[in-house]
Amino acid sequence: MNRQWQIFLAFFRIGIFGFGGGPSMIPLFHKEVVERYQWMDDSEFSDVLAIGNTLPGPIATKMAGYIGYRVGGIGGCCNAVVANIVPSIIAMVLLLTVLSEHKDQAWVQGMGLGVLPVVVVMMGKLTWDFFDKSFISFGALGTTVIALISFAAIVLLGLHPGFLIVSLLVIALLRKEQSSRDKLLAQEQSLTKKPVKGQQ
């Protein structure tokens, strides 16, 4: 199947079923990009999500634009963004025209309330998947400490999530760089170490 057609279908599905706005679309992005088409793994997807959250603007269009560009170049970027936003635009125009005439009806009010539990379940599943991957990378203690610090910074101190995400990204990059240096140093030492007598 043509790659551009795959991009269109993936982001069109996200746009059609992404009830509740950008955050509710994140599990749908994960389903299409990581599970269905395997354009990214979980680690890469987490990085894109983290960086996208630090930048201004809707998360859905930022992720669509970047992933589309990565998979299909400039054409893929435009394709993904259009496929992602057009369904919502059409639905908004059509539905709001109809629903505005019946906004006082109980069934109309129930539509919005009925979607909320589904969005909560999708976000909960994605959160659990991220926790699971974090346990593998940092262990239970490291994950718990990071989660508690993040909760305190965002909820108690009112720190913008973007600052926290950038700080954690910098720490992760420095940690990775230090680990690479240690590994390189260990390799150099093993190469320069003279063999013990009797062992060739």
Written as six digits, the tokens of 83 are 């496929």
More confident residue, 33 or 170: 33
pLDDT of residue 21: 66
Any residues with CB less than 8 A from the CB of 119 and at least 6 apart, and which? 19, 20, 24
Residue-level pLDDT at 116: 74
Q: Where are the domains of the chain?
A: 3-191
> pLDDT tens-digit profile of 74-133?
999 999 999 999 888 887 788 778 777 776 777 766 776 777 787 788 778 778 877 877
Q: To 10 degrees, what angle do helices 22-30 and 59-99 make?
A: 120
Confidence of residue 197 (pLDDT cuts 50, 70, 90): low
Q: What is the pTM of this model?
A: 0.58
Enter the tokens of residue 68.
Answer: 């589309």
* Tokens at 24, concatenated: 């509710």
Integer-rounded Cα radius of gyration of the chain: 23
Residue 137: what pLDDT?
73
Q: What is the pLDDT of residue 159?
A: 84
Is residue 67 within 8 Å of 48, Cβ to Cβ? Answer: yes
